C-alpha cells in the first residue's frame, strides 16, 4: 500500500473522522476529504474500470476532469451514477460503489476484452456484426442479437428506477458582474468589482474558494496563498452586494449573457437542513461575465500511461497540499514543461521521495535544475517514459533517451523503481464557456494551447483562462477585469505581491512518446494513439470525424484531458499544424448536469392543473375525471357497479327524458368589445355577426388563413359593441392568439379589444324536456319562457341571489340553456340548479354522455375539426357567407380542398350491434388478414340510447354519396371487424324540433 496520509498538512479537519463505505468495505476519512482523497489516504489505488477494455484504473486527476474514478453514490434506493470520486465530498454514512465491473472492481470479467485488443480497434463495429445475407438471421436480426450483449457490456453506472424524493430548486438571478472561478484572478475580479459597488456573484465549482491558491504553495502579500485567498473570501463575504456561490458549476453560456449554473446545496451533507433543496439551478443574467476559469493540465501519451498510479502532476500536488495525502512513497515525474518541477518541490515538502524528474526537453533552465536538486530528484533531461510496470498499482517505469525535435528514442532502456508517476503535458485554458458563447478558439503555438476567442458576448477573461499561467499575471488581469466589468477606471494602486518560483509557461511541443504498447489518449473510452492513427489511415481526419469514429472526447470528461493530445497526434499524422485539424466547438454543459436540477420545481409537477369552480362537487358526487389538455373534466358520474357505458347511457337517457346538467366552464370565452367588434367578427367568422341582434347568440365557424376549418362555437351579442365569444376547450388559447394577431398586426385600424375571460365565468349547460321548468323554478328577475327566451336568446337574471346570464342554446339537441355566472359563485349556482332539479330527476352528466348526445345530433368537435378538414368536408358549407370576405375565404376553394376524394363527415350504424372504436377504419371489402384500401376512419362513437344502436361519426371518402350503403369497420389494432351502414351524421331529431321546442 503505497499512497498514504501525511502526518500534518492539508485543510482537512484531522480531529473529525468520517465513516463511509466503498464497494461495501468500510473506510474512514476526515472532514474536508473528497471520496478520492479519502480512499487514496487509505491506500486504495484501483478506482474504476475503463469503458471498452475494462482496464484497471486509478485516479488521474483531483478535480472535475477525472475520467477514471467514476462511482455511483447511493441514497437509499436512489442512485446517482457516474460521479467522479474527486467531486464527492465525504459525509458520515456515504455509500459509494464502483461501476462497470463484474463481479468486482479487482476481478472484472470484462477485462477479457483486452484479449481482443487489435480486433477491437477504432471503428470495428462498423465493419462487422452484419450477419448473413439470407436465412433466419438476415436483415437486422444478427446485429440485434450481437447488440443485445454489446449493450449490456457497455454503459457505465446503473440508473435507478426508484423515484428521487429530493427537491430541486430554480433561482433566477441578476447581477452586474458574474465572476466564474475563484482562483487569484477570480477573487481579484470579484473584489475589484464589488469595491466599485457592482452587484457581484462569485461562483466556483469546488467546495472551497481559492482555486490554485489553495495548493500552489506560493506566497501572496506575505502570507500563504491559501490564507490570502481565505482573507479575500472573508472580505467579499462581508459585502451586501456580493453573493458567494461555492460548489456551483457555471455550465452554460446562453444568448443575452444568460448563464446557467448548478449549485450542489446538500450533496455533501448527511442530512439536508430544513427547506434545503438537493441542488439549485441558477439562471443568471449578468451585465458582464469575468471568466477566470483557469486551466487543465494535460496528460502525456506514452505506453502504460493509464496504469493505476499514473497521475497528473498538479493533481498529486493538490492531494498533498489540500488533503495531506501522498499518492506514493517513491514518486517520479514526467514532463514537457516547468510546472511539474513546482509539483515535485511541493511533494518533497510534503514528505515524499521524488526519485526522478524525466523531462523530454534537453535544455532545462537553471531554476528548474535547482528545484530538481532541492527535491533530491534525479533529473533525466532529454528522456522519456516508454513503459510502466505493475498490475493494479504501479511498481516501476522504463525510460529512454528522447529527442524532443524528432521524437526519436535512443540508447538503453533504464528501469526506475517508483510507485507513483506524475505527468504534465502542458496546460490548456478552460475556454469552454467562451466557446459556448460563440466564437472559435485560436491556437497559440507558444503555449501549445487553444486560447479564448475574442468575446462575442459581454465577457472579459482573466488569469490562466487567457493563457497567463502565473499568479502575478492572474492577479493583475483579475483586478483589471473586475474594474472594467464594473465600469470602473483602471487602477494604478499597488497589486498584491506574489512570491513564486518562476517558470516558463511554454511547454515543449511533445504530446506523445511513440514506443511499443498501448498509449492512451482518452482514458475512459480507451482510445489509443494507434486508434487516432487508424482513423487517419481511414480518412477520418477532421476533428469531428476523429471524435465520432474513435469516440475520443465523448466520455464523461468530454475531452478535457484528451482533446489537445488527440488533435496533436492527428496533426502529426497529417503533417499539418494543429489549428488546421481544427478544434471542436464546446456546447453546454461544461460538466454534466443533473436532469432533476434542470426540471427544478417542475420535477413532480409538470403542468398546472386547471380545475373548474365545480371540480370539488364533481369529485364529491362520484365523478370519474379525466384530463382534457390541462383541464380536468368529469367523464361519468358512475353509480356502484356500473360500467362506463351503462353510466353514460343512463345519463344521456335521463337528459333526453327529463333533464341533465353538465359543467361547461372549460369552454374558451373571449370578450370582444369596441365600436368595430361586429365588423371584426364578420371578418373572423365565415358567417355574419353584424346582423345579430343584441341579446341573441349565433353559432359561428372560423377558418384558418389557408381555408381549412379552425374552430367553432357560439358568440353572444351582449350589447351593440360587446360580444362574448365561446371557443372549444382545446382551442381557447389558439383562437385568442389568432384574434390578437389580426387586431394588432393586420387590422390595427379596427377599434376592438379582445380579453380572455375563460376563467371569469363558470358555465353550466342544462338540457332536456324539463330544463326550462327547472330554470323557471330557480331563476329570478327574468322570465325564461319562449317569449322572453327564444331559441338563441339571452337573458339576465339571478339564481340563489347570484347574477347569471342565460343563453338558450343546445349542443345535446334538447331544449337547453347555458347558465353563466361569475366563477367565484359557479359552484353556488351549480348547487342551486341541482337542488332545483331534484323534483325533475335532473342528473349531472359527464363528457361521455355529452359526446353521446352530440354524436346522435351529428355535431362536430375537435375529432372532426382536426386541422385537415374543410367546412365542406363537415357539411358546414351553409355557414360560408357569400356576402363578405372572411379569413380563409380566398383560399378555401383551391383544387386540393374541393377534390372529390376528400374525407367527408358521415354517420355509421353498426349492423352487428357491437361497440365500435374510435380510430377504427372503414373499408368497402373486408380483409381481416391483410387490411387495405381504407376509406376513412371513425372519429367518435357510442351506444346511442336514442337509437338503441351502436353508432359513430366518421370521415369517409365520398361521404354523402355513400349514404345508405354498406361498408365494414376494419380495426386490426383491436381486432374489431364488422358491417356498418353509412348514414347521415344527423342521427337524431334532424329537423331540431326538440331544441326549438
Partner 1 sequence: MLITCPYCGPRDVIEFTYQGDGNRERPQPASQNLDAWNAYVYDRLNPAGDHNEIWQHSGGCRSHLRVVRNTVTHEILSTSFARGGHKTESRS
Partner 2 sequence: MAEYSAFSLLKNALTGNKDWKPAWRKPDPKASYDVIVIGGGGHGLSTAYYLAKEHGITNVAVLEKGWLGSGNVGRNTTAVRSNYLLPQNTRFYEHSMKLWENLSHDLNYNVMFSQRGCLNLAHTPAQLDDYARRGNAMRHLGVDAELWGVGRIKRLVPALDVSGSARFPVLGGLMQPRAGTARHDAVAWGYARGADRRGVDIIENCEVTGFLRDGDRITGVTTTRGEIRARKVALAVAGSTGHVMQLAGISHMPIESHVLQAFVSESLKPIVDTVLTFGMGHFYISQSDKGGLVYGGDLDGYNSYAQRGSLPIVDEVMSEMLALFPGLARVRMLRSWGGLCDMTMDGSPIITTGPLPGMYLNCGWCYGGFKATPASGWCFAYTIAKDEPHEFNAPFTLDRFYRGLIIDDKGQGANPRLH
User: Does the protein bind partner 1 through residue 890 (CB under 8 A)?
Assistant: yes
Distance from CA of residue 90 to its chain's centroid? 28
User: Does the protein bind partner 1 through residue 769 (CB under 8 A)?
Assistant: no
227: left (phi over 0), alpha (psi -120 to 50) or beta: alpha
Q: Answer yes or no: are the C-beta atoms of 70 and 48 closer than 8 Å.
A: yes
When the beta carbons of 141 and 894 are compared against partner 1, the nearer one is: 894
C-alpha cell at 133: 445475407
CB of 744 to partner 1, least distance (A): 4
Q: What distance in Å separates the CA atoms of residue 910 and residue 978, rounded to the nearest whole number?
A: 8
CB of 153 to partner 2, least distance (A): 10
Q: Answer yes or no: are the C-beta atoms of 920 and 975 closer than 8 Å.
A: no
Contacted by 760, from partner 1, partner 2, none: CB < 5 to 8 Å by type: none
Q: What distance in Å separates the CA atoms of residue 102 and residue 119, rounded to the nearest whole number?
A: 22
Count of residues that interact with partner 1, criterion CB under 8 A: 22
Strands (E), 777-870: 779-780, 794-799, 802-807, 816-822, 843-844
Nearest CA among 116, 104, 123, 3 for reference residue 56: 104
- Please provide residue 837's backbone torsions phi and psi, each rounded to the nearest 5 degrees: -85, -10
User: Does the protein bind partner 1 through residue 369 (CB under 8 A)?
Assistant: no
**Burial state string for 255-290 with b = 16 or more CB within 10 A and e = fewer than 16:** eebebbbbbbbbbeeeeeeeeebbbbbbbbebbbbb
When the beta carbons of 209 and 549 are compared against partner 2, the nearer one is: 549
Q: What distance in Å separates the CA atoms of residue 185 and residue 477, rounded to the nearest whole number?
A: 7
CB of 607 to partner 2, least distance (A): 6
When the beta carbons of 117 and 801 are compared against partner 2, the nearer one is: 117
When the beta carbons of 254 and 791 are compared against partner 2, the nearer one is: 254
Q: What is the DSSP letter of 430?
A: -
Q: What distance in Å separates the CA atoms of residue 117 and residue 120, rounded to the nearest whole number?
A: 6
C-alpha cell at 143: 446485429
When the beta carbons of 11 and 704 are compared against partner 1, the nearer one is: 704
When the beta carbons of 437 and 654 are compared against partner 2, the nearer one is: 437
CB of 140 to partner 2, least distance (A): 5
Span between the terminal Cα atoms of the chain, in Å: 97
CB of 198 to partner 1, least distance (A): 18
CB of 584 to partner 2, least distance (A): 11
**Burial state string for 781-799 with b = 16 or more CB within 10 A and e = fewer than 16:** eeebeeeebebbbbbebbb
When the beta carbons of 419 and 526 are compared against partner 2, the nearer one is: 526
Count of residues making up the chain:
997
When the beta carbons of 720 and 744 are compared against partner 1, the nearer one is: 744
When the beta carbons of 469 and 586 are compared against partner 2, the nearer one is: 586
User: Does the protein bind partner 1 through residue 740 (CB under 8 A)?
Assistant: yes
C-alpha cell at 187: 477573487
When the beta carbons of 746 and 961 are compared against partner 1, the nearer one is: 746
When the beta carbons of 312 and 534 are compared against partner 2, the nearer one is: 534
User: Does the protein bind partner 1 through residue 145 (CB under 8 A)?
Assistant: no
CB of 965 to partner 2, least distance (A): 19
* Footprint (CB under 8 A) of partner 1, residues 393-452: 438
User: Does the protein bind partner 1 through residue 745 (CB under 8 A)?
Assistant: yes
CB of 965 to partner 1, least distance (A): 36
Contacted by 382, from partner 1, partner 2, none: CB < 5 to 8 Å by type: none
223: left (phi over 0), alpha (psi -120 to 50) or beta: beta
Q: What distance in Å separates the CA atoms of residue 934 and residue 98, rounded to the nearest whole number?
A: 56
CB of 906 to partner 1, least distance (A): 30
User: Does the protein bind partner 1 through residue 574 (CB under 8 A)?
Assistant: no
Contacting residue, 413, 705, 720, 877, with partner 1 by CB under 8 A: 705
Q: How far is CA 363 from CA 212, 338, 340, in A?
A: 27, 11, 15
CB of 593 to partner 2, least distance (A): 5
CB of 843 to partner 2, least distance (A): 21
Contacted by 973, from partner 1, partner 2, none: CB < 5 to 8 Å by type: partner 2
Contacted by 783, from partner 1, partner 2, none: CB < 5 to 8 Å by type: none
Contacted by 440, from partner 1, partner 2, none: CB < 5 to 8 Å by type: none
Dihedral over alpha carbons 270, 275, 277, 282 (to 10 degrees): -140
Candidate segments 97-105, 140-148, 862-870, 890-898, binder of partner 1 by CB under 8 A: 890-898
What SS3 state is found at 366? helix
CB of 460 to partner 1, least distance (A): 17
Measure the CA angle with vertex 442, ends 437 and 444; round to 5°. Answer: 140
Q: How far is CA 627 from CA 169, 650, 844, in A?
A: 27, 22, 18
Q: What distance in Å separates the CA atoms of residue 55 and residue 48, rounded to the nearest whole number?
A: 8
* Footprint (CB under 8 A) of partner 1, residues 635-694: 683
CB of 976 to partner 2, least distance (A): 10
Contacted by 456, from partner 1, partner 2, none: CB < 5 to 8 Å by type: partner 1
Q: Answer yes or no: are the C-beta atoms of 210 and 183 closer than 8 Å.
A: yes
* Footprint (CB under 8 A) of partner 1, residues 277-316: 285
Q: How far is CA 884 from CA 207, 332, 711, in A?
A: 71, 90, 19
Q: What distance in Å separates the CA atoms of residue 540 and residue 559, rounded to the nearest whole number?
A: 18
CB of 173 to partner 1, least distance (A): 13
- Please provide residue 532's backbone torsions phi and psi, each rounded to the nearest 5 degrees: -60, -40
User: Does the protein bind partner 1 through residue 601 (CB under 8 A)?
Assistant: no
Q: Is 502 exposed, middle or buried (0-12, 13-18, 19+ CB in 10 A)?
A: exposed
Contacting residue, 109, 746, 788, 926, with partner 1 by CB under 8 A: 746
When the beta carbons of 45 and 436 are compared against partner 1, the nearer one is: 436
Contacted by 683, from partner 2, partner 1, none: CB < 5 to 8 Å by type: partner 1
When the beta carbons of 319 and 680 are compared against partner 1, the nearer one is: 680
CB of 400 to partner 2, least distance (A): 21
* Footprint (CB under 8 A) of partner 1, residues 849-888: 885-886
User: Does the protein bind partner 1 through residue 144 (CB under 8 A)?
Assistant: no
Contacted by 592, from partner 1, partner 2, none: CB < 5 to 8 Å by type: partner 2
Candidate segments 442-450, 501-509, 736-744, 946-954, binder of partner 1 by CB under 8 A: 736-744
* Footprint (CB under 8 A) of partner 1, residues 241-260: 254-256, 258
User: Does the protein bind partner 1 through residue 928 (CB under 8 A)?
Assistant: no
When the beta carbons of 339 and 687 are compared against partner 1, the nearer one is: 687
Q: Answer yes or no: are the C-beta atoms of 357 and 450 closer than 8 Å.
A: no
When the beta carbons of 494 and 748 are compared against partner 1, the nearer one is: 748
User: Does the protein bind partner 1 through residue 896 (CB under 8 A)?
Assistant: no
Q: What distance in Å separates the CA atoms of residue 310 and residue 54, rounded to the nearest whole number?
A: 17
Contacted by 139, from partner 1, partner 2, none: CB < 5 to 8 Å by type: partner 2
CB of 372 to partner 2, least distance (A): 38
C-alpha cell at 342: 513546482
Neighbours of 559 (CB within 10 A): 22
Residue ranges binding partner 1 (CB under 8 A): 254-256, 258, 285, 438, 456, 683, 705-706, 737, 740-741, 744-746, 748, 885-886, 890-891, 894
Amino acid at each position: 500500500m503505497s499512497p498514504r496520509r501525511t502526518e500534518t498538512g492539508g485543510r482537512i479537519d484531522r480531529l473529525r473522522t468520517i465513516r463511509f463505505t466503498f464497494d461495501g468495505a468500510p473506510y474512514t476519512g476526515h472532514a474536508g476529504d473528497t471520496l478520492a482523497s479519502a480512499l487514496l489516504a487509505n491506500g486504495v489505488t484501483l478506482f474504476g474500470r475503463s469503458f471498452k477494455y475494462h482496464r484497471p484504473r486509478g485516479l488521474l486527476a483531483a478535480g472535475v476532469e477525472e475520467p477514471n474514478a467514476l462511482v455511483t453514490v447511493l441514497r437509499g434506493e436512489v442512485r446517482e451514477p457516474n460521479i467522479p470520486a474527486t467531486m464527492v465530498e465525504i459525509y458520515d454514512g456515504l455509500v459509494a460503489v464502483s461501476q462497470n465491473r463484474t463481479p468486482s472492481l479487482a476481478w472484472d470479467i470484462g477485462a477479457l476484452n483486452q484479449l481482443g485488443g487489435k480486433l477491437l480497434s477504432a471503428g470495428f463495429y462498423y465493419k462487422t456484426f452484419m450477419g448473413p445475407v439470407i436465412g433466419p438471421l438476415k436483415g437486422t436480426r444478427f446485429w440485434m442479437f450481437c447488440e443485445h450483449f454489446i449493450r449490456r457490456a457497455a454503459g457505465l453506472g446503473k440508473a435507478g428506477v426508484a423515484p428521487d424524493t429530493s427537491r430541486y430548486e430554480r433561482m433566477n438571478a441578476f447581477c452586474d458582474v458574474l465572476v466564474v472561478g475563484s482562483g487569484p484572478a477570480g477573487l481579484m475580479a470579484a473584489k475589484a468589482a464589488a469595491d466599485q459597488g457592482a452587484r457581484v456573484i462569485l461562483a466556483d465549482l469546488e467546495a472551497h474558494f481559492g482555486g490554485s491558491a489553495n495548493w500552489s504553495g506560493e506566497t501572496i502579500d506575505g502570507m500563504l496563498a491559501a490564507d490570502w485567498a481565505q482573507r479575500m473570501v472573508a472580505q467579499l463575504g462581508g459585502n451586501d452586494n456580493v453573493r458567494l456561490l461555492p460548489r456551483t458549476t457555471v455550465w452554460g453560456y446562453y444568448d443575452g449573457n444568460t448563464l446557467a449554473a448548478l449549485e450542489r446545496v446538500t450533496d455533501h451533507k448527511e442530512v439536508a437542513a430544513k427547506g434545503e433543496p438537493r441542488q439549485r439551478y441558477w439562471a443568471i443574467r449578468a451585465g458582464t461575465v469575468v471568466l477566470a476559469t483557469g486551466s487543465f493540465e494535460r496528460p502525456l501519451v506514452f505506453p502504460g500511461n493509464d496504469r493505476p498510479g499514473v497521475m497528473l502532476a498538479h493533481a498529486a500536488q493538490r492531494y498533498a497540499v489540500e488533503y495531506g495525502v501522498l499518492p506514493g512513497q517513491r514518486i517520479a515525474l514526467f514532463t514537457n514543461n516547468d510546472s511539474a518541477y513546482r509539483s515535485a518541490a511541493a511533494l518533497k515538502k510534503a514528505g515524499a521521495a521524488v526519485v526522478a524528474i524525466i523531462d523530454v526537453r534537453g535544455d532545462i533552465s537553471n531554476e528548474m535544475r535547482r528545484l530538481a536538486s532541492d527535491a533530491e530528484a534525479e533529473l533525466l533531461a532529454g528522456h522519456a517514459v516508454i513503459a510502466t510496470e505493475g498490475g493494479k498499482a504501479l511498481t516501476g517505469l522504463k525510460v529512454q533517451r528522447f529527442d524532443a525535435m524528432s521524437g526519436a528514442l535512443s540508447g538503453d532502456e533504464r528501469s526506475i523503481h517508483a510507485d507513483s508517476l506524475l505527468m504534465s503535458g502542458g496546460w490548456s485554458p478552460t475556454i469552454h464557456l467562451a466557446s459556448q458563447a460563440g466564437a472559435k478558439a485560436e491556437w497559440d503555438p507558444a503555449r501549445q494551447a487553444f486560447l479564448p476567442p475574442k468575446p462575442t458576448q459581454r465577457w472579459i477573461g482573466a488569469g490562466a483562462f487567457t493563457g497567463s499561467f502565473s499568479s502575478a499575471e492572474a492577479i493583475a488581469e483579475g483586478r483589471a477585469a473586475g474594474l472594467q466589468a464594473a465600469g470602473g477606471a483602471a487602477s494604478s494602486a499597488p497589486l498584491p505581491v506574489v512570491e513564486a518560483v518562476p517558470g516558463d509557461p511554454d511547454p515543449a511541443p511533445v504530446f506523445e512518446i511513440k514506443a511499443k504498447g498501448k498509449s492512451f489518449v482518452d482514458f475512459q473510452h480507451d482510445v489509443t494513439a494507434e486508434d487516432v492513427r487508424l482513423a487517419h489511415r481511414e480518412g477520418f481526419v477532421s476533428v469531428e470525424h476523429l471524435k465520432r469514429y474513435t469516440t475520443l472526447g465523448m466520455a464523461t470528461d468530454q475531452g478535457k484531458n484528451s482533446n489537445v493530445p488527440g488533435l496533436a497526434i492527428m496533426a502529426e499524422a497529417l503533417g499539418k499544424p494543429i489549428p488546421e485539424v481544427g478544434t471542436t466547438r464546446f456546447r453546454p454543459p461544461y460538466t454534466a448536469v443533473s436532469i432533476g436540477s434542470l426540471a427544478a420545481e417542475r420535477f413532480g409537477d409538470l403542468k398546472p392543473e386547471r380545475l373548474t369552480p365545480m371540480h370539488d362537487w364533481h369529485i364529491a358526487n362520484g365523478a370519474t375525471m379525466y384530463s382534457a389538455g390541462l383541464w380536468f373534466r368529469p367523464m361519468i358520474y358512475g353509480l356502484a357497479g356500473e360500467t362506463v357505458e351503462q353510466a353514460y347511457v343512463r345519463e344521456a337517457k335521463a337528459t333526453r327524458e327529463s333533464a341533465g346538467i353538465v359543467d361547461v366552464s372549460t369552454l374558451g370565452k373571449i370578450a370582444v368589445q369596441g365600436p368595430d367588434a361586429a365588423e371584426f367578427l364578420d371578418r373572423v367568422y365565415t358567417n355574419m355577426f353584424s346582423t345579430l341582434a343584441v341579446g341573441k347568440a349565433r353559432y359561428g365557424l372560423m377558418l384558418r388563413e389557408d381555408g381549412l376549418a379552425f374552430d367553432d362555437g357560439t358568440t353572444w351579442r351582449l350589447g351593440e359593441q360587446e360580444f362574448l365569444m365561446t371557443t372549444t376547450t382545446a382551442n381557447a388559447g389558439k383562437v385568442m392568439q389568432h384574434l390578437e394577431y389580426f387586431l394588432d398586426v393586420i387590422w390595427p385600424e379596427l377599434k376592438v379589444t379582445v380579453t380572455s375571460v375563460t376563467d371569469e365565468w363558470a358555465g353550466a349547460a342544462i338540457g332536456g324536456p324539463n330544463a326550462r321548468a327547472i330554470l323557471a323554478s330557480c331563476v329570478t328577475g327574468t322570465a325564461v319562457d319562449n317569449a322572453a327566451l327564444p331559441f338563441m336568446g339571452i337573458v339576465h337574471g339571478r339564481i340563489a341571489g347570484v347574477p347569471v346570464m342565460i343563453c338558450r342554446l343546445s349542443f345535446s339537441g334538447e331544449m337547453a340553456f347555458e347558465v353563466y355566472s361569475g366563477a367565484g359563485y359557479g359552484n353556488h349556482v351549480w348547487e342551486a340548479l341541482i337542488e332545483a332539479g331534484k323534483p325533475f330527476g335532473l342528473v349531472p352528466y359527464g363528457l361521455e354522455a355529452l359526446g353521446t348526445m352530440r354524436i346522435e345530433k351529428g355535431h362536430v368537435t375537435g375529432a372532426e375539426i382536426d386541422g385537415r378538414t374543410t367546412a365542406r368536408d363537415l357539411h358546414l358549407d351553409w355557414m360560408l357567407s357569400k356576402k363578405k370576405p372572411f379569413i380563409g375565404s380566398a383560399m378555401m376553394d383551391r383544387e386540393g380542398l374541393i377534390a372529390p376524394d376528400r374525407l367527408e363527415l358521415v354517420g355509421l350504424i353498426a349492423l352487428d350491434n357491437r361497440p365500435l372504436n374510435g380510430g377504427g377504419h372503414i373499408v368497402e371489402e373486408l380483409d381481416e388478414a391483410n387490411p387495405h384500401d381504407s376509406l376513412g376512419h371513425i372519429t367518435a362513437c357510442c351506444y346511442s340510447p336514442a337509437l338503441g344502436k351502436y353508432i359513430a361519426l366518421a370521415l369517409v371518402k365520398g361521404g354523402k354519396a355513400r349514404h345508405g350503403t354498406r361498408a365494414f369497420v376494419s380495426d386490426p389494432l383491436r381486432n374489431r371487424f364488422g358491417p356498418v351502414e353509412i348514414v347521415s351524421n344527423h342521427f337524431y331529431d334532424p329537423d331540431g324540433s326538440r331544441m326549438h321546442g
